[in-house]
Structure 1
């Protein structure tokens, strides 16, 4: 038995004709095309009986059967026929379509089982029990839609026969767009012949083909399914149930899939179904012309499902396509951080679909259009892997500003939110861009809040990214320095002061600057246990890793463990705290515990340097090299992590006896250190390896400004303030020079062109660093320090 199954226009009849034309085996053949008269069982048997009578086959006595029922006559005659016979039933989907299909399938299947001489061939558009049950008991060959579909070589041969010029690529494109649908392909090639142009998908031609297809579909449920499921690009079984809610969705989905009209593909989210592109486009055009409301209905129905399957971006996509603009704007507002960091390219695309009058009046859409293309990663695949973090610590600081403006969402506010979202997504370049726009606004409009939050955000982004020299240069801004030192006490100033001191501490630790001890001592721990609080803990952990005694490091481990319990899982803050904890555990010899902690963190560019560090500590040098090298090309990797990775590779190569290669990698790390000001990572490799790689070069040895052995350093307690006078910055030296000719802050301010408050701030720093309590004492001590420098 042979079954040819495929939708209308898939060339089943053509295949039969070609096969019979080429077949010359002498077996008598009876061809029976069915029509609407066979939709009831009696009509089917009558049609079959008439065909056998016309064939006048041996063993069939029409007079004997004349008074018998058609079914009994047909079955009796075929069972008595002992000679080979080929019976071809075309359009078998009509057989018993309205009533009796199961009985017809069972009777024919029993006939094939009982008659060794009968060869049955059926051509059908639908899956029948004749095929499914028959496979269990008879020798069955099934020609499926995929077997009947035209491939590129078939399209090319067809075009050549009609004198149409076509390349292999063009033939493959046409076959793909139409799903290899033979009738559609032939129609497009014929249109090219008539029009004298290249063979390609002709929308008008395909639309006409689809109109005929829909008119030919007798099932109202199937027609509705076709029109509705062509609206989305692709759909799941759950989506089909949502947009075709009459309970027939799964049945029609099965019919179309086995019929070859739907493509099926496996995704990480399960099976997805789609029509061939040109067929889907034609279905959409025809159905929307007939039912203009259909697209909106379908996308509204899909919004609830998208919330479960795709998250906010899916809901937004369907809201935009349904032109539910209020809903779409609400989703953008409520899910801003998620959409901005995890779906920036889709957000840009969807924002472009809003009507101009809406886009011009909404600040978030304006930020998307004006700024997001500059902030988004270059490739859509390079999106954040982190759980978005709500910047709760900013809300209180900025609330008063926007209440006074009687506006809750201006463009500057949204840029601040965007910058913070980018910081906690690991997109520091994007964050720096957003905060620079905020600062620019503050400068142009004399807006102190925008200036402070802008430069504070830039400081955060540069510090996070490990650009130490740039971060320390930003800290020289007079207005920022004044606030950090303890200037005004409004909400914004308090936020900038707390955050700025934490960033200053991290930057000075990264750079191993002389003022690091004072910077760490100046950290003010935030009252709320959020991401900002965790960063303060992180700063102290970084400090302990380089300058702390074993007791200090153990205390930092406890603080970091406590911080992890308060952070949202899956966020970049958790990975930052977790990797610092791992580093301290390794330093304390608890390598196994460190590995357990690291295994619970998100595996990505933040943790790869720590993974390499751990493997190096375990003596697994080649694995350490492989992990360290893996993410070095990630543009999001911080300068801090890049330097650690380069140094771990160098140290691992040195241990493997590859000294020349180790020095080359060490040189790459040195370049990163000079470019960024990073120094702390040099303290993470053993003093012996560092000494061997640095040699006797004083400049290279200066990259690790620690005592010659770690043990000697760690015999000193962790200081809460500088043990010796810290080096004065260039600006502070200028303040000292001005102080010689001035009686106090007012004179210094006038001499240097700064505010009195800023002069007071610098003088406090100078007095503290020198250990002085008065102007005269400071001048005496500064002369002493000057002599030491000389």
Structure 2
């Protein structure tokens, strides 16, 4: 019957032409109609506009995975064309050339494209006459407007013969035909040739993926509204896969809490899983299904790694075929692949059901293969997933990666990973990792106990060939790093030097390539050593180590130690009195890690403390407080002595600047115990105490505090001179200042104070010209640094000098504002800060309270109140109560 009907068609007899295929069966009209779009379909203009280019190129390929939305996209595009389109949905039955071309011809006729009567339907389903194809191509080439032919599900047509015939017609039809292939696989046509000639329009899987903005609109079409971060998370999880998003949205609509469902749905127990298992997994052979299930535990894979998990050797062709067929296997290049994230998630759930207990073993096999192949980060991840902590910690420590727990992009990830390591894991390596975690949290006692236990075990340990590690040298070098950190936290320079020496010896025993892979280890060692030297007051030795650390290569891996080193170098400059240098280094320290999106444990914090110190010296007190507030809750408040001490000193100086002497004295000593006292910490604590005593008119007490500090601290020598001058001993003050070296490390923050002290002594000696000259010298030096505090702390004597014509221009704009005041009515340009108790007395003075009333109200003696009043008068440069109140109001002290 079939052959009879075919014969009738070839002879042109009968009325059945175009209504039956070569097998004698009626043509299925549904195969010639584009599918209807659902009401929740989202038209994506960027893709439709891209498809418009199909009108200009002979060939268009829309190539994507199952459910990628490619068919509906083309259907939407076709619906918007003001011209007929021949649509043909292929079927597995179309593997025979005669059958395939019969349907193509019928699609053309159904769309209104005239096909000459001599182009009859092929009589034989298994073959097609070459003449028929030539006539068809000739007919199409003569058209004024090209015929648009869409072949949907073209991946079902796998016969190479059909691909050759289709390419023949397309090539010879010329501008008369526009062929659009909708397929899951790369078509057998010579696509590369069309691409090279610019005759190809392509839309592939990546372009078909929904963007977060498109996904948000799609969810709204389903009646769902999610915050932007929720939509972004869903797109990441589904990879923007159209069917996955639609199925999730449909399921979420049935949930009482749609937002929570979309955030927490179990992929393995969802309609998405049913779709992928049916459309992708179950269509594969048993061998391919087994491979997919086993490699689902991997973030990425290559054929050799897949073979290690399957114990077979056929992974390479299977993976290549899966990728070619868009079976949710993405090609990363260089023979590496990865599974679509949602597909992998579903496969893992399916693996647990089908092969319970196999997943840890797969992780274990993967970890060992990855370690042998040199992929340490993935080795650690799979070793931890397998629960094999001795192996994981061993690979981590012997891979010289211990520094990554303190710096780099993976620091938080590794800390979380090793936090899952239970107490049952016991080995030298696990002790080293636990010690690193303890020390990173500044738990010095526990960290040292575990570190020493690990070192004792390593001393007696014999390398285990089964673990594929290079031996104990890398582990001992890791221990040296931790010893240096412990020394830094303990403030022990001797211990730090020993750790550095041990590290230097061990560096020669570790493979050079291994050291090259982990530049953060040396950068951290140098930073710890430099910090400990700084604590000991060995500034130049500290500068050598810290400068080397700041210059280490390594990008993100060394960004935090570089930042810490710059912060410490900035502190050295500040302690030496060089504000500008300190500020520049501190600002540089806060930018490097930000460039890599890192947040350091203390590097940027110590830089902020230095910036706060500079702000105090410039009398930018609110700015200083804001910078200090940014460091609250950081490691500064715990065991690291250098930044903790620096912060406490800056806080004390800020409180002094605000007249809160008692609070300043309470803040000056941080609660950090160290093995060795720091000379600069002691000196600056004495400076705060001395300044507090001077503010409360106790110069002898101020001088006594400074006598306990070694005389090699320039800032302390200057402060001691100020105390002697306040006590009425100018000769002693000048003698102290003469001891300062003419040249040395002291910067403007020290030398300006020294110059002002000499100026005050000259003024009190009756030499205003010399005093003015010295103040001018101080102004010139301070202006470059915007150094204001020395002038504010100098006392009332300096106001008249600053009001003079020669000096006022030097102060205007940065220290004072407005025009120069007249000598007879000097403006209140600067004032020595009142102490907290003096402010209490001044407030009661403004309330017209008597001396006795003030004493009773403050619970002090009348003589104490009189002493405070004298100090208030002196600082405000007045002689009577009403003048003191008026001047205080002018200065906004009341």
The normalised TM-score by structure 1 is 0.53
Taking structure 1 as reference, are residues 89 and 374 closer, same or farther at Cα in structure 2, changes over 3 Å only?
closer
Cα distance in 1 for partners of 2:539, 2:354 equals 72
Q: What is the CA RMSD across the aligned residues, in angstroms?
A: 6.3
Taking structure 1 as reference, are residues 221 and 572 closer, same or farther at Cα in structure 2, changes over 3 Å only?
same
Q: CA deviation at 1:681?
A: 3.2
Q: Alignment partner of 2:66: what SS?
A: coil
Q: Alignment partner of 1:207: what SS?
A: helix
Cα distance in 2 for partners of 1:702, 1:334 equals 52
Q: CA deviation at 1:64?
A: 6.3
Q: Which residue in the other structure is 1:612 paired with?
A: 570
Q: Alignment partner of 1:26: what SS?
A: coil
- Say yes or no: does 1:103 pair with 2:164: yes
Deviations 1:532-577 (A, max 9, x none): 999xxxxxxxxxxxxxxxxxxxxxxxxxxxxxxxx99716444445
The one of 73, 78, 83 equivalent to 1:20 is 78
Cα distance in 1 for partners of 2:301, 2:105 equals 45
Taking structure 1 as reference, are residues 151 and 304 closer, same or farther at Cα in structure 2, changes over 3 Å only?
same
Cα distance in 2 for partners of 1:184, 1:568 equals 42
CA contact (8 A) 1:211 1:286 kept: no
Deviations 1:108-141 (A, max 9, x none): 5524xx4222121110112345544323335433
Taking structure 1 as reference, are residues 364 and 118 closer, same or farther at Cα in structure 2, changes over 3 Å only?
same
- Say yes or no: does 1:299 pair with 2:355: no
Deviations 1:703-726 (A, max 9, x none): 852247699799xxxxxxxxxxxx
Taking structure 1 as reference, are residues 646 and 137 closer, same or farther at Cα in structure 2, changes over 3 Å only?
closer
The 5 Å alignment of 1:181-200 reads 181-191=241-251, 198=258, 200=262
Cα distance in 1 for partners of 2:691, 2:226 equals 63
- Say yes or no: does 1:10 pair with 2:68: yes
Q: Which residue in the other structure is 1:144 paired with?
A: 204
Taking structure 1 as reference, are residues 152 and 419 closer, same or farther at Cα in structure 2, changes over 3 Å only?
closer
Taking structure 1 as reference, are residues 698 and 241 closer, same or farther at Cα in structure 2, changes over 3 Å only?
farther
CA contact (8 A) 1:243 1:301 kept: yes
Q: Which residue in the other structure is 1:284 paired with?
A: 348
CA contact (8 A) 2:394 2:430 kept: no
CA contact (8 A) 2:297 2:359 kept: yes
The one of 651, 654, 678 equivalent to 1:668 is 651
CA contact (8 A) 1:628 1:645 kept: no
The normalised TM-score by structure 2 is 0.47
Q: Which residue in the other structure is 1:227 paired with?
A: 293
Q: Alignment partner of 1:231: what SS?
A: coil
Taking structure 1 as reference, are residues 595 and 366 closer, same or farther at Cα in structure 2, changes over 3 Å only?
closer
Q: Which residue in the other structure is 2:270 paired with?
A: 204
CA contact (8 A) 2:67 2:242 kept: yes
- Say yes or no: does 1:91 pair with 2:90: no
Mark the structure with the bigger radius of gyration: 2
The 5 Å alignment of 1:391-790 reads 395=455, 423-424=482-483, 426=485, 460=487, 462-464=489-491, 502=494, 530=502, 570=522, 572-577=524-529, 599-600=551-552, 603-604=561-562, 606-612=564-570, 620=581, 622-627=583-588, 637=602, 650=613, 667-668=650-651, 674-675=669-670, 676=672, 679-681=678-680, 697-698=702-703, 701=706, 704-707=709-712
Cα distance in 2 for partners of 1:660, 1:160 equals 51
The one of 121, 136, 148 equivalent to 2:180 is 121
Deviations 1:707-766 (A, max 9, x none): 47699799xxxxxxxxxxxxxxxxxxxxxxxxxxxxxxxxxxxxxxxxxxxxxxxxxxxx
Q: Alignment partner of 1:674: what SS?
A: coil
CA contact (8 A) 2:109 2:115 kept: no
Q: CA deviation at 1:185?
A: 3.3
CA contact (8 A) 2:539 2:572 kept: no
Deviations 1:469-512 (A, max 9, x none): xxxxxxxxxxxxxxxxxxxxxxxxxxxxxx9xx46xx9xxxxxx
Q: Alignment partner of 1:32: what SS?
A: strand
Q: CA deviation at 1:210?
A: 1.8
CA contact (8 A) 1:33 1:91 kept: yes
Q: Alignment partner of 1:604: what SS?
A: helix
Q: CA deviation at 1:332?
A: 8.1
Q: Which residue in the other structure is 1:77 paired with?
A: 136
Moved more, 56-65 or 30-39: 56-65
Q: CA deviation at 1:10?
A: 2.0
Cα distance in 2 for partners of 1:100, 1:585 equals 85
CA contact (8 A) 1:177 1:279 kept: no
Cα distance in 2 for partners of 1:215, 1:349 equals 32
- Say yes or no: does 1:135 pair with 2:195: yes
Cα distance in 2 for partners of 1:608, 1:650 equals 16
Deviations 1:301-350 (A, max 9, x none): 42245326776664344235346677558658978993995668747656
Moved more, 256-265 or 37-46: 256-265
CA contact (8 A) 1:155 1:185 kept: yes
Taking structure 1 as reference, are residues 422 and 694 closer, same or farther at Cα in structure 2, changes over 3 Å only?
farther
Q: Alignment partner of 2:270: what SS?
A: helix
CA contact (8 A) 1:628 1:649 kept: no
Which structure has more RCO (C-alpha within 8 Å, separation ≥ 6)? 1
Cα distance in 2 for partners of 1:104, 1:76 equals 13
Please, which runs of 5 or more residues in structure 2 have no aligned partner? 1-53, 55-59, 462-475, 507-518, 626-646, 654-663, 718-737, 742-894
Taking structure 1 as reference, are residues 136 and 105 closer, same or farther at Cα in structure 2, changes over 3 Å only?
farther
The one of 48, 62, 83 equivalent to 2:104 is 48
Q: Alignment partner of 1:570: what SS?
A: helix
Deviations 1:561-598 (A, max 9, x none): xxxxxx99716444445678999999789999995786
Taking structure 1 as reference, are residues 17 and 273 closer, same or farther at Cα in structure 2, changes over 3 Å only?
same
Q: CA deviation at 1:626?
A: 2.0
Q: CA deviation at 1:635?
A: 8.1
Cα distance in 2 for partners of 1:154, 1:635 equals 37
Taking structure 1 as reference, are residues 277 and 313 closer, same or farther at Cα in structure 2, changes over 3 Å only?
closer
CA contact (8 A) 1:348 1:368 kept: no
